[in-house]
Amino acid sequence: MRTILWWGRSDPDYSRNRIVLNLLSEMGWRIEFFRPVSSLLGRAQAFFQRPETPQLIWVPCFRQRDMHSALFWARRWRCPLVFDPLISAYQKEVFEKEKWPANERPAVRLRAWEGDLFRQADMVIADTRLHAQFYIDTFGLDPGKVSVVYVGAEDAVFRASDTEPAEAPLEVLFYGSFLALQGPDIIIDAAMAIENKKIQWVLLGDGDLRPRLEARSRELPNVRFEPWTPYELLAQRLGRAHILLGIFGTTPKAAMVIPNKVFQAMAVGRPLITRRSEAYPQQVQDSEVIGWVPPGNARAIAGKVAKMAADPHGLMLRGRKTRQLYDQYFSLSHLRRQLQTVLDKVMAAQK
């Protein structure tokens, strides 16, 4: 059996990692884990621990710091290395957090450091084609060494339900970590624009922006905040809502991603409202099943909610069509085909 060495201090239980690990196992790969006590000690620890020589090394999401040691051993063992960063540290610090302008020395250094890591990988995985293009343009990657594998959702957890939510109040649900990318402040603006008290807006989760938004909406009877729901109960909670919300931020990254919450909302078969983005396949962009709105536009969100709420009996039909769209473009079988393409490319290059 072929072996993949899962390298670094990652969280195997993180949804992206769990999906990839399960798919790789289904595809006949044996997964071994190498978790150094410190990313800085990974190269030396492998000398003493002596992992079995694999056919491929996989560095999972967020583990840029583990790349140096993984690259050393990939070259020593003469096996390919696949890097699935999910996010770029340079993109996050410079364009999301706006810590420095792109031309300042710390930003230039970070771009050079991360670009060097990306270029040494045999394959870099991006979660959308726009993210793939960002990596190619920003770090000078060979387009043939960048592939797309969607984030997706765990089909066994996020199942469509035929149970119709309670009739009233009609519940519009957002869940997330209250980041600017997600646009929770825009959701509050949308809630303020609707006077219909029979529509309840629920914001579930926690994060930096939540205290300020709670203070802002304290006098709004149609807005409610809920704490994090355990992951295994999240699908059930989503299924009790009539309409689910995606992201609405205006940041560069918001335009490039298809977030977990969108895949999961589609998988549970509830109507979805989210910002327009070219990150989606063209057929999905063209679909009227999704409630597309311009980024940052609270009035457009309010208008979509009001329109859907005016046809409560049509919500279940729209939800079923949303699940069908998910099955067609984003299901685990689709992700498996994308992953197989990655493996075929890197293994063929070794022959």
- Low-confidence stretches of the chain (pLDDT < 70) are 351
Place of tokens 């610090």: 93
pLDDT at 97: 85
Query: CA dist 107 to 67, 111, 145, Å?
Result: 20, 6, 24
Residues in a beta bridge with 146: 124
Write out pLDDT tens, residues 256-268.
999 999 999 999 9
Write out pLDDT tens, residues 86-124.
999 999 999 888 899 999 999 999 999 999 999 999 999
pLDDT at 313: 86
pLDDT at 1: 78
pLDDT at 65: 97
Q: Which residues of 318-340 are buried (b: 16+ CB within 10 A; e: fewer)?
A: bbbbbbebbbeebbbebbbeebe
pLDDT at 260: 92
| Structural domains of the chain, with CATH | 3-152+332-349 (3.40.50.2000), 170-329 (3.40.50.2000)
Within 13 Å and on the Cβ side, how many CA atoms surround 58?
24
2 Cβ neighbours under 8 A, 6+ residues apart: 28, 29, 30, 55, 56
Among candidate residues 230, 189, 186, 180, the one with its CA nearest the CA of residue 207: 180
Query: CA dist 42 to 13, 21, 87, 97, 112, Å?
Result: 21, 21, 22, 29, 22
